[in-house]
Each structure stands twice: as structure tokens, then as C-alpha cells.
Amino acid sequence: MMKRTLLVSAVSTILLAGCGGGGGSSNQLSTAIETPVDAPDCATGFVCDTLVVPTNYLNDDGSTVEVFYAIHKATDEANRIGTLFVNFGGPGGEAHTTLAWLVDSGQFDPKIVEQFDLVALDPRGTGQSAYAKELTQCATKLATDINACNAFNTTKAANISTNTLVKDIDALRTHLGEEQISFLGYSYGTRVGSVYANTYPERVRALVLDAPMSPDLSNAAEFFKDDAAGYELAARFRLESDARYQTLKDASYYLYQDGVLQLNDGELTLDTALGALYALRESSSYGYWQHQKAGAFELLDNGNTQLLNSLVASTPWWQPQNPADDARASAMFKAVLCADELSPLTNAEVWAMETDFSTNAPVYGPVTFHYNAFMCADWPGVQDPVAPLTDMDVKLQTPILIIGGEYDTRTSYVWAEAMAQSFASLTRFIRVENVVEHGFSYRGSDCIDDATTAYLLDPAAAQDFLTCDGGLMKRSRTGGFKPHPVQQNPRR
């Protein structure tokens, strides 16, 4: 039996080195965390303000907090369609400076900028909205005190839940005087958008769910079990042969047992192996797999590890430019994921899932189970469960667009398929093939971007099903995929 302490210790080393999770929302797009809400920064070309909302919608005692929002007005007022709310995922990512970067970079289709007021609402706990500073203060202490955020999680996590964010969005819709909104959500933002549609179906004009989460997620352990299965699928695709995958399964089994593997030209340690496994399943944008591929194939084909050892050691892992904000994003990810749980589990109930993880994903299941599955076990705080999506084709009156990546390793393709089933006849679907990526629209693929823009301009005219080759996504000057805000928030 693999020792949990051995595996968790090794994974923690990898994560602290900057490769586990790939970073957070802290990057060149981040808002300064010390900016007071009463004096908001505002990106050039945007109109910004704060909105007063109830502290807790579940138990409204009259107390309030402020959330920050920013609007880029439609540049062609005569042909303005309405508002397009954009959420880039997380949970833990802000929206204001992220949307500003996307507009300034020219990655949106010009018609979107011309005909929509683009709206960014910083979720509570992020950017310049309520709880961002409070979360940062506790999160920066977690490295030395694992209980530093317990007080926040126990008493306030429900105040930053997905249901709360959805109600804040609708409060802003009312404030802006809009009868309906259009919504573009990436990753966790698809959960926000789909819950909004489930809660306020009559207020949805158009809904794009790019890299969707599960429509009926019950708890964090199930979330991470599906994650591991997505990692496995991407690994099999990248290894290019069943023989290599079988060798990887065998090697992983012994590594998880013993912590080291003796090979022809030396030893492969668990720390190094975990760095390689992370690169194997991470999005192409980071370049980790491209850097390590030759070493991985040399090990799996010929039993030699020295090249892989060297390449893992020299991998330019992403490092947060703002460690304090990265810590805040991690703390918020946990708080929201746990507050949202529909069927919370005890520690013992999570342990009972260990075999399921390993069976579901022989390579990635064990490490995912021991590092992530217990995140919300025995959660002490008040929860605000997200209801599963039901009868969406009856509730909603407009088609919706789902964009799913066949080898998306942060939001598994099975989630995209399940989301499509939830909306049934209203679903219009884009399947992205031949690339390990996360988040697809407005990243330089004419196939994806043209279809997304056409849907947003006229939802009724959208094509039922479309397949796009992700391998044809345009490249940047450095040879990688065009950067995109959803990649700057790699938690989801």
C-alpha cells in the first residue's frame, strides 16, 4: 500500500517549485490587492463603479458589502445589442483587468466590441470586491499555519459561493437596467453561467460555456476524480501509443509504492516523476510537455531516465508574479468549491473512494486522490449547495453554445458532454480536437471564433454541431499558443 505521507510530501515539493497547478490568477493581469474599494482603479476605456449588495442572500440581515464592476461600452452605439458579461473562471480569478487585457489585445472579434457593452464583475474575494483583502491576509499565512483561513471558511465562505455570485450578477443586471444579459464563461465561469441560467432563465439572451464544468457536481472528491480521468485521457493522446501508456502505468505503480524506480542508466525519483507527469497533462500553452517529450519517450521506449531527469530539472515552471495574490486565489478556490458542495463527505467517506480513483485513472488517480480528494472532507462551514441543472430545455427559451476540448485536462470532456445533455435540444456544440488545451474561444482559431461570434450576434442562427481542429490554433511570436486570460487562472 502506498504511503500517503510519501506521496503528499513529494507532490507538495513539486507544487512549491511552481509546477503543480501551474500558478494562479496572480500575473500581469492582476489588480493590486491593496486597492481600497472606495477608490477603484479603472482600466483605460472602461467605466467602473461599485455596487452595494447584501452580505448574505441566504440570511439577509440588512448588512451589505460592495462588489466592483467595469464596463467597456459598445463602440457602435447605433447597433448595440446589449450587455455581455464575461467570467474567466477560477474560482479565484478577478474579471476587470483580465477583460481589459482581452479587449486591448484585440483577441475579441471586432463585432463583439462594437455591439456589446462588455461587463466584468469582480467576484467577491477577488480584485477590488469585498473579501479580497481579508482572504489575502489569511492565505499568506497558510504556509506556516494550515489553519489560518479556518475562521473565514467557517463563517464567510458561503458569502463568496457560486450562488452568491449569481445573485450579484443579477443585482448588477437590474442596476444597469437590462432585461436580459448575454454571458461568456470560461472554465469555472461556465458553472457561474449555467447556474445563472438555471436560476434566472428568463433573463438569458445568450450563453456561451467554454470548457464547461459538470452540470451536477456533488462534491470536491467527485470533482477531482473526474479531473484525474481527464489527465489520463490527455496522457494517452500525447504518448502516441498504447505500449508507452502501459509502460507508464507499470512505472507509476512501482513509483507510488517505493518512491524511486531503478532504470538502465540511473534512478527516477518520485519528485522527478511527478514533475514529468504534470508536464504530460498540462496545457500546451505552457510548453512543459514540449520541453520534456524527448526525455519521456526515451524512458518509456528504452528504459533510460537521465535525459528526462535533466529536462525536468531545467523546465521553466511558471512562477507567480504576485505570490500573495496567488495564495489568495488558492484559498478562494477551496472556500468556493467546499461551500458549493451538494453532497459533502466525511474523511472516512473520501477514504472509501481510493480504489475508485485508481481504477478510474491508474496513472493520475492515486496522486490526485492523496493530494486533492480530502480538500473539503468534514467541511466545518456553512454551505450554499449548487443545485444540479434540470429541465433546462424547458426553463430556457434560447439556444446555448458549449465549447468542449477533447483533451481538456482542467475541465474533462465528459463534463462538456454532460452539460450538453442538460440543455438537451437547446445545445449548440463545438468539439475541439487534437490539442491539450483549456479554454478555446478568442484564442486565434477562426473555426471556433467565427462560430462563437456568430452565435453571440444571433443565437437562433447557430450551427447545431461543429468540429474544430485545435492543432490549427494560431501561434504567437514565441511559437506557443496565443496567451489568453483563462490560461492565467490555471486552477480551473
> Per-residue pLDDT for 347 more than 70?
yes
Distance of CA 215 to the CA centre of its chain: 15
**Which residue is associated with the grid cell 461543429?**
466
Confidence tier at 471 by pLDDT (50, 70, 90): confident
Helix extents (H) in 340-372: 347-351, 354-360, 365-372
Q: What is the dihedral of CA 466, 388, 177, 157, to 10 degrees?
A: -120
How do residues 283-310 score in pLDDT, each as one tens digit? Answer: 998 999 999 999 999 999 999 999 999 9
DSSP letter, residue 287: -
pLDDT at 488 (0 to 100): 57
> Per-residue pLDDT for 417 more than 50?
yes
Q: Alpha-carbon distance 239 to 228, whole Å?
A: 16
Q: Which residues have C-beta within 8 Å of that of residue 302, sequence separation ≥ 6?
A: 264
pLDDT at 487 (0 to 100): 61
pLDDT at 473 (0 to 100): 73
Q: Is the Cβ–Cβ distance between 126 and 95 less than 8 Å?
A: yes
pLDDT at 5 (0 to 100): 42
Q: Alpha-carbon distance 328 to 334, whole Å?
A: 10
**What average pLDDT does the segment 138-151 reach?**
96
> Per-residue pLDDT for 331 more than 50?
yes
Q: Alpha-carbon distance 232 to 30, whole Å?
A: 32
Domains of the chain (ranges; CATH) run 47-215+388-488 (3.40.50.1820)
CA angle at 87 for the pair 165 and 20, rounded to the nearest 5°: 100
> Per-residue pLDDT for 15 more than 80?
no
How do residues 236-266 score in pLDDT, each as one tens digit? Answer: 999 999 999 999 999 999 999 999 999 999 9
Max CA distance (Å), the chain: 70
pLDDT at 22 (0 to 100): 31
CA angle at 111 for the pair 107 and 115, rounded to the nearest 5°: 120
- Rg of the chain, C-alpha, whole Å: 22
How do residues 76-129 score in pLDDT, each as one tens digit? Answer: 999 999 999 999 999 999 999 999 999 998 889 999 999 999 999 999 999 999
Q: Alpha-carbon distance 312 to 272, whole Å?
A: 7
Q: Alpha-carbon distance 232 to 214, whole Å?
A: 18
pTM listed for this prediction: 0.91
pLDDT at 33 (0 to 100): 29
**What average pLDDT does the segment 42-59 reach?**
96
> Per-residue pLDDT for 31 more than 70?
no
Looking at every residue in the chain, the average pLDDT score rounds to 90
How do residues 180-202 score in pLDDT, each as one tens digit? Answer: 999 999 999 999 999 999 999 99
C-alpha cell at 236: 494517452
C-alpha cell at 402: 458549449
Helix extents (H) in 306-410: 306-313, 323-339, 347-351, 354-360, 365-372, 392-395
Q: Is the Cβ–Cβ distance between 142 and 128 less than 8 Å?
A: no
**Which residue is associated with the grid cell 478510474?**
360
Confidence tier at 312 by pLDDT (50, 70, 90): very high
Confidence tier at 485 by pLDDT (50, 70, 90): low
Q: Which residues of 321-359 are buried (b: 16+ CB within 10 A; e: fewer)?
A: ebebbbbbbbbbbbbbbbbbbeebbeeeebeebbebbbe
pLDDT at 62 (0 to 100): 95
**What average pLDDT does the segment 124-150 reach?**
97
How do residues 357-401 score in pLDDT, each as one tens digit? Answer: 999 999 999 999 999 999 999 999 999 999 999 999 999 999 999
Q: What is the dihedral of CA 461, 107, 440, 482, to 10 degrees?
A: 150
> Per-residue pLDDT for 34 more than 70?
no
Sheet strands side by side (includes 204-210): 47-54, 64-72, 116-121, 82-87, 181-186, 204-210, 400-405, 427-433, 465-469
Q: Alpha-carbon distance 176 to 268, whole Å?
A: 58
pLDDT at 472 (0 to 100): 76
Q: Is the Cβ–Cβ distance between 121 and 71 less than 8 Å?
A: no
CA angle at 466 for the pair 460 and 469, rounded to the nearest 5°: 145
Q: Is 179 left (phi over 0), alpha (psi -120 to 50) or beta?
A: alpha
